[in-house]
């Protein structure tokens, strides 16, 4: 249970690092990067339960829970995340271009980095139990 919580916290840290890096790269401001790290996750966390309830109602009404429905839900969730990223960066900078770049870059970088993060954790867990590539000899 502790390892699962540590992994989740680490995933959040990766996500926040991506948000900070994008905003800092675009503005050169640590304050603006910190603002993105604080505001964007809070908005996503606030909106996600509404999104999940919406899709739960759709799944309840659907005759089957096919792959198309799952794909539509994931596309919708990605769109929500992109919209929040755009809104936070545009609201902070007043730049449509910066908002657009953030809306595209943040999900792409998270999709690329989080599987690498998870593979690293998969290698780390056996080492914690005394076997695996990182275990001490």
Q: How many CB atoms lie within 10 A of CB 31?
A: 11
Residue 137 within a domain: no
- In which region does residue 94 sit, left (phi positive, over 0), alpha (psi from -120 to 50) or beta (all else)? left
pLDDT for the residue 87: 93
Q: Which two tokens stand for residue 63?
A: 């005759």
What is the DSSP-derived secondary structure letter of residue 130? T
The mean pLDDT of 3-13, rounded to a whole number, is 82
Residue 135 within a domain: no
CA–CA separation, 51 and 84 (whole Å): 13
pLDDT for the residue 127: 59
The percentage of the chain sitting over the pLDDT mark of 70, rounded to a whole number, equals: 91
Helical axes 67-93 vs 30-61, angle rounded to 10°: 150
pLDDT for the residue 18: 87
The tally of domains found in the chain comes to 1
Residue 58 belongs to domain spanning: 2-128
Residue 134 within a domain: no
Residue 136 within a domain: no
Closest CA to 82 of 127, 120, 29, 44: 44
Q: Please give the mean pLDDT across all residues of the chain.
A: 84
Half-sphere exposure of 119 (CA within 13 A, CB side): 5
Per-residue pLDDT band for 137 (boundaries 50, 70, 90) equals very low
The percentage of the chain sitting over the pLDDT mark of 90, rounded to a whole number, equals: 20
Per residue in 88-106, pLDDT (tens digit) is 999 988 999 999 998 999 8
Residue 40 within a domain: yes
Per residue in 41-68, pLDDT (tens digit) is 888 888 888 998 999 898 888 877 787 8
């Amino acid at each position: 249970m502790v390892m699962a919580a540590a992994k989740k916290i680490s995933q959040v840290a990766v996500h926040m690092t991506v948000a900070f890096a994008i905003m800092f790269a675009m503005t050169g401001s640590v304050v603006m990067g910190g603002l993105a790290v604080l505001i964007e996750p809070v908005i996503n966390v606030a909106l996600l339960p509404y999104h999940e309830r919406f899709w739960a109602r759709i799944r309840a009404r659907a005759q089957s829970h096919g792959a198309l429905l799952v794909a539509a839900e994931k596309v919708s969730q990605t769109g929500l995340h992109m919209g929040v990223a755009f809104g936070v960066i545009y609201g902070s900078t007043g730049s449509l271009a910066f908002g657009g770049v953030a809306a595209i870059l943040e999900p792409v970088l998270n999709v690329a980095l989080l599987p690498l993060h998870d593979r690293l954790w998969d290698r780390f867990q056996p080492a914690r139990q005394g076997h695996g590539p990182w275990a001490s000899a």
